[in-house]
Every structure is written in C-alpha cells, then in structure tokens.
Chains A and B, each alone.
Chain A
Amino acid sequence: MARIPLRRHARDETGQAEATPGGRARAELRFDGETVPCREGESLVSALLCAGQMMTSRSAKYRRARGPYCLRGDCGTCLVRIDGRPNQKACMQRARAGQQVASQNKQRADALDPTRLVDAAFKQGMDHHHFMVKPRVLNQVMQTVARELTGFGHLPDAEASAPVGHEHRDLDLLIVGAGPAGRAAAARAEAEGITYAIVDRRDAGALASPGLWVAAQRAPANVERVGIFAAYRDEAAPTQATEAELDAPHRAVRGVWAGHADEGPALRTYAAKHVLVATGARDSMLPLPNNDRPGVVAARGLLELIERDGLVCKEDSIVVVGDGAYAHALADRLRAVRVDPDDVVRIVGRDRVKGIETKDRKLSCDFVAMAGQPAPSHELAVMAGAQSKFDGAGFAIVRDDLGVCARAGGTTIWAAGDVCGYMGPQPAFEDGRRVAETIMQRLREASHAGHPAQLADPGDTQRLAAADTNTNTNTNTNEDER
C-alpha cells in the first residue's frame, strides 16, 4: 500500500465521530473497486488523498499519470467517474456513503498498461500533426489507436439521471462569487434591502475555509450554490451586427446570466440591473519538469482543503515551490520547505511525487505545492464585454474608478476583488464594500428618478453628495500597485 500523505485530524483516530469537522459521519465509498474510508460531506478529493489514491487518469498524449491539482474546480485532472457519470471533478463533489468512484482513461492494473511506454518512447516530444502520416495504412492504424486512447470518460450508465428544472429571477443586483469581495457586497446589499442574489459554485464547506483570511467573515447564509456559466445577450432584443474585429467579445444587449445548480431547479437564469463579478483569482501552473505528477497541487487549494476537511500532513511531506501569496502561508502553517521555482531541477517520481530535486539538494516529499501569484478568473467578465490586461500573473479585468467594467444596455457590470488583479482577501473585502456602495447609490438614484413623488429631500441630497465625494476621494483601484 502506498505511503499515505494526508490524514484526517488526530482526534479522528480515536473514533470520536462527533469531534470531526461539522460532525461528519464515518462512511465508506469505493474507488476502482477498493474500499476508501470517508466522512460524509467532506470533499471527495480529501477522501481519495487520505487513502493514498493520488492518480485519477492518464493523460491524452503522453499517457502520464495525472491527479488532482488545483483542488478547487478549475483544472481538468481530477476527473473521475462517480456513480455512473463520467468526467466529474472530484474536488467539487462531496464524499457520500456507497459512492462508486472510478479513475478514467487508464487500465486498472498500471503495471499491465503498455501505453505507459509512450512517454519513454518519445523523449523529444511527439508532434501530433506530423506523427505517422505516411504511409497511409500506418496512418489509419495510428488514427484508430489514437481514437481509443483519447477521450476521457466512458458513456454514462443508463440509470444515471441529471436534475432538471428552470428558474428565472429578475434582480437589482447579482453577485457572482462569495469570496471576500462578494461577501462584502452582499452585506451591503442586505443592509440596503434591495433584491439581490449571491451565488458561488463552491459548497458551504469550501466557503467556510478561511484560507489566508485570518479575520474570516462568515459566508452569508443565503449564498446559493450556482455555477454561473455564461453572460448572454438577451435573445428578445434584435442582434446588433457591429463587428470591429473578427471575433468581437460578446456584448450583451440586456444580459441574461445563466448558471447550473445541484439543488432546486437545475438551470438558473438571472437578469439584473447590476451584476458584480467577484470571481477572484486562481493558482495557475508553473512550468517545471514533471509538474504533472500526481501530488503536484496548488498551494492555496491544499491549504483550503486541509482547513475544510480537518486534514493533517505528515511531517516533511510537502515542499512549496514559488513565492506567490499562498506560498508563505502554506509553508508557515505546515512548517514546510519553500523553494524558488528557478532552483528546481525536476520533480521526481513516476506515478506520483516522490520528491523534488533542486540545484543544491534532493528532498523527498509527497506533495509539491505550487504557489505562483494568483491569476484572475477573468473569463466571465470578459465574456460579458469587459476588457482585460495582462498584469504579470494573468489577465486582470479593467474597470473605471468606480468599479464598472462593462455595460450591456440596461445592465451595468462591475468587478471587485482579485479578479481585478490579485490584492489579497482583506483588500478584496474592502474593495467589494467600496464598489457595492456605489452600486447602492446608483440603485437609489434610479429609484428616486423613477418615482418623482419620492424625490430626495434636501437631507437625502446632501447625504448622497457626501457619499459621492467619499467614493471619489477614496478611489483605490490598486492599479498603481502592479
């Protein structure tokens, strides 16, 4: 049995189920036919890692072992088959008693998998455009084999079913993302009494992990677990055929924002006067030799997972690479060695991390935790029409002094927090509050304008003017800090 790099909290070992985080009951699930102990409601990836199951698939071309990396829903290598459904992100699923989980795109018995030789055979890399083109017969055989090796999951079992149903909501404000910036905005919206929704693709357990945020604000109770997957043009409006470039970003006329939920109606759509994109930032890959080994994880993801599910690392089982924001936090928390990426010679291990070689030493470990500077999760804002700018780490959303990043006819789109460039949780919280303040002001102004009988009294006007001045003088867009 492989070395176990992670355990649940020591209290667990005495069998005190009530002492586990959230009082989670012990249970069992199966992974590739083997029994895996778990706690109901913890992240599935915690259960797998605590059982030493680091590998979830083989890669598309070089057939190398792959496992969970980002641990929070962004990368594509923790995909497993769960209860007859393929390509599920293990990090976004909760462990449940009796789950049948299986790896994908690999043979059960690794030692008997001949395709593992591909990696050794193509030392100089494989150019798939020019590989085995001639003669034709060989080309056809190659294509047939390639077809069998790519793809990931198998067809779902016939019994697997998906939730259905649609719900549409019209809102004053939609807040996408319940991290620090989103929470601050939600608190403001709640106090103002407007019609709003705050959504996040993560579950309550993940939202409760403070990560770097020592003075963690609780996630609002009304966060709905919805993965917003797009910002669309409203189809009822005639399409505008303005095309400045071949593929102009999709400028919404009257935005419809669509999301997918696991509970309640599956398909959610929203139309809102204001949308605040607070989707944060993510840990992107550092290109180092063998950075694809199972056991290479994102530092922030590992930190959050450990906190969320009460995990404990073996002594010396983690080496941190990089000096991004989460590098020091993880290294400090776990008393782990931290290494500069430029000093890394290679990560060592075949089907999982065994260690890491630097210019002056060799360290053995189970995890290599990458910690580059977080890159903004720009996709949703850009899809909605915002501009982005490379900020050295990734693509940061460009916004004006007040926080507006795009306009789509009747909808104003705002951005706050790390999506505008990594700023850290406390500054992101304050940024969210600042931008929300302006949104509230706009809603008040619009509401007064729409109801002439309720025009602001002189006291109101003075207060509004003061708030306006406040906003302008306290402008802090962080743009100067890059």
Chain B
Amino acid sequence: MTDRSFVCRCEDVTLGELEHARALGLERIEEIKRYTGLGTGPCQGKECLATLARWMHAKAKAPGELLTPFTPRPPLEPVTFAALASLPAHDEADQASASAPEEDA
C-alpha cells in the first residue's frame, strides 16, 4: 500500500494531484475541480471543497478573491426520478413533439 494524502476521496484526488494542477498554472477552484475531478463525485464537494480551499490558502497562498466555492447545483440531497416525475406537468408543451420541421424529400 502506498502512502497517499487524499483531498477528494470520491474521485481519488491526492495532494500530489493538486500540486500537479498548480504546476500547470491552474489557480481557480473551478478549473482545479475540472482538471483533477475533485468535487465531481457522489458528495459533490461537501467533503473536499473546504479542504481544497484551506490548502490553497495555506500552501498556494491564494488570495481571497481566488477562493470562491464552485457553483453549487441541484440536487443537494438524493431525490429519485420517480419522485421528480410526481411534479405536476406544466402544460401541453410537455407532450409536444420536439422535432424541427422536416424538409421536403
């Protein structure tokens, strides 16, 4: 077993991988997230975003304006497709065909 220090355990992102991203010139949380995969797994950053920010602040001496959380998006808690399908359908447009007009053959 290899010694590794994890920042994001969902996607196996280690301190080494963060250093690598920094060496590529990635400074913002949004781009570090994308390149390393940090925060894109099942917990969507709940465990690791704060850890990343602390590391950037301490090790990379990131100034405050670079420390903004990546965009939080729904759903923050699990909700099934079956439950979502229970939402009222808005109007008949929901059932309308989505195809563009067909050209003449």
B-contacting residues of A (Cβ < 8 Å)? 59-62, 64, 66, 69-70, 74-77, 79, 87, 89, 119-120, 122-125, 127-129, 152, 161-166, 201, 227-230, 232, 235, 247, 249, 258-260, 265-267, 269, 282, 284-292, 346, 350, 372, 375, 377-380, 382-383, 388-390, 392-395
Contact = CB atoms under 8 A, between A and B. Distances in A.
Given A388-B68, A394-B50, A266 B83 contact: yes
7 contacts: A66-B9, A229-B77, A247-B71, A258-B74, A285-B47, A287-B55, A289-B3
B3 to A, nearest CB: 4
A121 to B, nearest CB: 9
Contacts of B50: 284, 375, 393-395
Contacts of A259: 77, 79
Interface string B23-45: 00000000000010100011100
Contacts of B73: 383
A61 B11 contact: yes
Given A69-B9, A77-B10, A164 B86 contact: yes
B4 A289 contact: yes
B75 A287 contact: no
A76 B37 CA distance: 14
Given A260-B80, A286-B51, A390 B64 contact: yes
A113 to B, nearest CB: 14
Contact of A266 (B47, B54, B75, B86): B86
Contacts of A291: 5-6, 9
Contact of A60 (B11, B16, B80): B11
Contact of A59 (B9, B37, B79): B9
B82 A60 contact: no
B72 interface: yes
Contacts of B78: 89, 227, 229, 260
A87 B6 CA distance: 21
A267 B83 contact: yes
A292 B49 contact: no
Contacts of B15: 287
Contacts of B101: none
A292 B7 CA distance: 9
A129 B37 CA distance: 11
A249 B71 contact: yes
Given A287-B6, A395-B69, 12 more contacts: A77-B9, A119-B1, A163-B82, A229-B79, A232-B74, A284-B47, A284-B50, A285-B7, A289-B5, A379-B69, A380-B72, A395-B67
B42 A267 contact: no
A408 to B, nearest CB: 15
Tell me if A's interface is mostly helix, strand, loop or mixed. loop
B61 interface: no
Nearest to A89: B78
Interface residues of B, number: 54
A70 B51 CA distance: 14
A379 B86 contact: no
A238 to B, nearest CB: 14
Contact of A346 (B3, B74, B84): B3
B48 A285 contact: yes
A379 B43 CA distance: 12
Contacts of B14: 125
A229 B16 contact: no
B46 interface: yes
Contact of A122 (B2, B11, B42, B68): B2
Query: What 7 pairs across the A-B complex have the smallest Cβ distances?
Result: A227-B77, A230-B74, A76-B42, A375-B50, A229-B75, A394-B50, A76-B43
Which of A66, A76, A286, A378 has the most B CB atoms < 10 Å from its CB? A76
Contacts of A124: 16
Contacts of A377: 46
A130 to B, nearest CB: 11
Contacts of B54: 284, 372, 392-394
Nearest to A153: B42
Contacts of A166: 83, 86-88
Nearest to B85: A164
Contacts of A125: 4, 14, 16-17, 20
A361 to B, nearest CB: 18
A269 B55 CA distance: 37
A70 B43 CA distance: 11
Contacts of A392: 54, 57
Given A59-B9, A230-B74, A390-B53, A290 B46 contact: no
B98 interface: no
